[in-house]
Amino acid sequence: MEVLYKSTRSGQNTVTASQAILKGLAEDGGLFVPTAIPKLSVSVEELSKMSYQETAYAVMKEFLTDFTKEELMDCIEKAYDSKFDTEEIAPLVNADGTYFLELFHGKTIAFKDMALSILPHLLTTSARKNNVKNEIVILTATSGDTGKAAMAGFADVAGTRIVVFYPKGGVSPIQEKQMLTQKGENTHVIGIKGNFDQAQSGVKEIFGNKELEEEMARAGFQFSSANSINIGRLVPQVVYYVYSYAKLVENEQIQNGEKINVVVPTGNFGNILAAFYAKNMGIPIAKLICASNDNKVLFDFFQTGVYDRNREFILTTSPSMDILISSNLERLIYKLAGEDAEKNAQYMKDLSGEGKYEITSDMKAQLEDFYGNFATEAETAETIHKLYDQTGYIIDTHTAVAAAVYNKYKEETKDETKTIIASTASPFKFTRSVMNAIDQEKYSDMSDFELVDELSTIGKVDVPDAIEEIRDAQIRHNTVCEVGDMEKEVKKFLGIEQS
Ligand SMILES: *Cc1c(COP(=O)(O)O)cnc(C)c1O
């Protein structure tokens, strides 16, 4: 059955999957959603025997119905290959009775690789299918991980360029070095003197600028987005929830049909929305547990039905979740509103105007599948420490937020349902915070790379290639700009005349 996509803000026109991938964001500022979430057409029994790549095909073909089998398989094969340091691509690790779904075995050792290693191929295939001759310019705001993963995915991909904005001072030293050493003539990274939300708003503004769009077209360019709002990011993320469920069945850790809970450390609401889609496709998921750090907008939202971004922006040790506007939540709001685009558009208008909106009690009642909570900095650190003490397994700060929230959930509900925790980054990416959590005093004098080696020793895991690579790598990017100058920087990189 053909799946088409419509905007969450004006549900009239539909576009094909490839068009939605090319556009990223709908003209009206809304996000593309499938007219209906498709069901899986293979059984869990069949899935349990499939490789990651085969599972990816089984899931993605249901969403990207205008791609031919050859096109989609080609994208999948190019994405999920030896770039990943394990054939399983997304292995499950049992620690302390819970299953950690390790989504950090790709090129930049964070979960963004799961989608960003395939997006460039989906995008260039989409361009070909739609006879697009312009060079595709990827514009991305990052809270630390997306930027590097996107650049790694797009570096030297013919017919594309990529510009990444990140909050200077708002990412970890290793994240920053990873970005600033990025190779590829078509890559460009810029620090802004502001926070992630400002970077994201700035990018959205550039996307919405019609005049600039025309100027770009005259010069042979068109924008697209690699941010998690792109349906080409969301769909590949559904895969690992399907895959991990089937693996639990195959390994007889659960019965076929048995419900599981899923815990996701959440920022932009993309990863947990993918779990929600997996549930809607037919995977037996009971609770979707949404974990926040001190920027607990989502927790408050699940409690009260009020989404309110008017609050202090807090820098935490889980910087990829330091977000006050969770863009992908709009897709859920739209669904809760009965796919009423007008109603959703009003909420989003209130959000950009007053910085908040309140959903109706009917809508709130539909949030039953979700549970939200948050972990403070102290709770996050304590969770890393305790899990290491008890099991020897070392998790990163983002995963620790999820594990801490899961502990609260269990204590509150006594729910013993088997549970998967999305493990979204390697501890090597946030070495200092992780090692501080394990032993503040012992490690406080060590350099970042000394800590990397120490982590490898005490955790009994090899230093990932992604870290080895940047030890002595040359800094290739050093642009910093004011929030107001983002557009100017883009034009400079593309060589478009300043008007
Ligand atoms: C991006 C990111 C998250 C948040 O994921 P969302 O899809 O934005 O909710 C969590 N952890 C890490 C390590 C990330 O990079």
**pLDDT tens sequence across 8-22:** 999 779 999 999 999
Count the alpha carbons within 13 Å of 423 in the hemisphere toward its beta carbon. 29
Distance 251 CA to ligand 1 centre (A): 28
Choosing from 111, 148, 225, 229 the residue with most ligand 1 atoms within 8 A of its CB, the one to mutate for a pocket test is: 111
What amino acid positions are annotated as catalytic residues? 112
Give me ligand 1 centre to Cα 210, in Å.
30
Report the pLDDT averaged over residues 372-390: 98
pTM confidence score: 0.93
DSSP state letter for 49: T
For residue 282, report the distance from its CA to the centre of ligand 1, in Å.
24
Which percentage of the chain shows pLDDT scores above 70?
100
229-273: per-residue pLDDT in tens? 899 999 999 999 999 999 999 999 999 999 999 999 999 999 999
Radius of gyration of the chain (CA): 21
Angle at 312 between CA 314 and CA 426, to 5 degrees: 20
Structure tokens at 273: 């929305």
Range list of β-strands (E), 275-353: 285-292, 306-308
Q: Exposed e or buried b for every residue in 99-114, given b needs 16+ CB within 10 A?
A: bbbbbbbbbbbbbbbb
CA 1 – CA 117 distance, rounded (Å):
27
Q: Which residues line ligand 1 (CB under 6 A)?
A: 110-112, 145, 228, 265-271, 320-321, 398, 424-425
Q: Which of 119, 398, 426 to mutate to test the pocket of ligand 1 (most atoms within 8 A of CB)?
A: 398
Closest ligand 1 atom to Cα of 268: 8
- Measured between alpha carbons, how far is 130 from 152 in angstroms, rounded to an integer? 25
Strand, coil or helix: 83: coil
Q: For atom 2 of ligand 1, which residue has the closest CA?
A: 320
Which atom of ligand 1 lies nearest, measured to the CA of 323? 8
DSSP calls for 18-47: HHHHHHSB-TTSPBEEESSPPPPSS-HHHH
Give the tokens for residue 322.
Answer: 């330091």
| Atom 14 of ligand 1, residue of closest alpha carbon | 320
- Rounded average pLDDT over 484-491: 95
Which tens digits make up the pLDDT trace of 412-456? Answer: 999 999 999 999 999 999 999 999 999 989 999 999 899 999 999
- The rounded distance, in Å, linking the Cα atoms of 496 and 499 is 9
Residue 461: Cβ within 10 Å count = 14
Cα of 24 vs centre of ligand 1, distance in Å, is: 19
Which pLDDT does position 498 carry in this prediction? 60
For ligand 1, what atom is nearest to the CA of residue 266?
9
- Model confidence at 499, in pLDDT bands (50, 70, 90)? low
Q: Mean per-residue pLDDT for 464-484?
A: 92
How far are the Cα atoms of 29, 37, 130, 177, 276 from residue 4, in angstroms, in the given order? 18, 10, 15, 40, 19
Which backbone phi and psi does 280 adopt, to 5 degrees? -70, -25
Closest residue to atom 8 of ligand 1, CA basis: 268
Whether 467 and 174 have beta carbons less than 8 Å apart is answered as yes
